[in-house]
Homo-oligomer: A and B are copies of this chain.
């Protein structure tokens, strides 16, 4: 049985390149850029006053000097200095006129008026050039690349793209995804279960994970453990870029998925990996279609989606992986066996931030992920975790 690291490596070596599409910026939140974006001009585009106050030339500055002034420059306008003009009133966001290089904030200014002539003196010990001015190009230079392919558009990217005037952006097209839940015991959520039946939550888990990447599954189907019906659905599902199955991949006599997949020409890449939960996972491909055969238990699906499906999507999108963190564990924990173990934790902050366990009855537990912030990992070779031991943490 291959290790977690080997399984992940095999999955990541099967990444696909999806084509690009051009969409309006306003619809791009959560999508992943497929173009490099460079600055259309310097940012700031001009020497911008960072304060409401007065602009002057720093070389002329003397403490206590009286500056006559008569003009005021709000943001959204510019002006050329008149001969002998030594100060102007300036507003935040306005361009500092050529010839001036210092803004003194209004709180440090003392305003007077003599015979209709406005005057100002300043209470400022140390006048440094470029004080209270955001210099042209100090944030970003014109033509500088500010965003690269593979960056997911969040608040900061969205705002920056708007600043740059990118009305449309090129993003990775969402892959076509089919989801098939299998299992005789599984019924749709609107049905009343018999005592030994359960409702299909796995397609909801997978749909939720896909929604993080703005992927809408093309179809969501359920089939009982019947050779003919599974075969039919998988056959249909193989026109997708990604086919995600849940259930039917374990050791039971009705675990028909692996044999049907192989009969339909899907090449097995691996079946089973040394992890808990999620051990029975099946992974393969047929031409351009990638097939994830996830186990049927709800927390196995959530775990496999996080540790295998998301990394696959992100690498296919050219996105970096979600970083994992290393944080101290809040208590002690035993691990039996030699599998790499994943369990739900929440972040608990006292003097510092710890990983804290939650009630967890294993992969079949319907509320296993609830109130958790992510998964902690116990490596295969460890059997005992002590309080303050540093564990790897994968945020959801």
Residues of A participating in the B interface, judged by any CB pair closer than 8 Å: 25-26, 29, 41, 43-46, 48, 50, 52, 72, 74-78, 89, 91-95, 106-107, 134, 138-140, 146-147, 154-167, 183-186, 189-193, 195-205, 207-209, 211, 224-225, 250-255, 296-298, 302, 323-328, 347, 349, 351-353, 361-362, 364-372, 390, 396
Asked whether A362 lies within 8 Å of B50 as measured between CB atoms, the reply is yes
Contact A253 B89 (CB under 8 A): yes
Closest 7 CB pairs of A and B: A76-B184, A156-B369, A76-B185, A91-B252, A75-B185, A162-B201, A52-B251
**A353 neighbours in B (Cβ, 8 Å):** 325-327
In the assembled complex, the Cα of A364 lies from the Cα of B183 at a distance in Å of 56
Q: Is the CB of A370 within 8 A of B146?
A: yes
Q: Given contacts A93-B183, A196-B76, is CB(A167)–CB(B139) below 8 Å?
A: no
In the complex the two chains form, is A29's CB within 8 Å of B163's CB? Answer: no
Closest CB of chain B to A153's CB: distance in Å?
9
Task: Establish whether residues B208 and A158, one from each chain, have CB atoms under 8 Å apart when the complex forms.
Answer: yes
Whether B139 lies near A45 (C-beta < 8 A) is no
Residues of chain B with a CB closer than 8 A to A50's CB: 362, 364
Give Cα A370–Cα B364 distance, bound, in whole angstroms: 39
A48:B364 contact, CB within 8 angstroms: yes
| B-side contacts of A362, CB under 8 Å | 50, 134
Question: Which residues of B lie under 8 Å from residue A352 when comparing CB positions?
Answer: 326-328, 390
Shortest Cβ gap from A82 to chain B (Å): 18
**Which residues of chain B are within 8 angstroms of A347 by Cβ–Cβ distance?**
323, 325
Q: In the complex, what residues of B have CB within 8 A of residue A52's CB?
A: 250-252, 255
Rounded to whole Å, the gap between the CB of A31 and the closest CB of chain B is: 12
A307: min CB distance to chain B, Å: 14
5 residue pairs bridging A and B, Cβ less than 8 Å apart = A76-B196, A93-B185, A93-B297, A134-B362, A166-B189
Tell whether, in the assembled complex, residue B195 and residue A95 are in contact, meaning their CB atoms are under 8 Å apart. Answer: yes
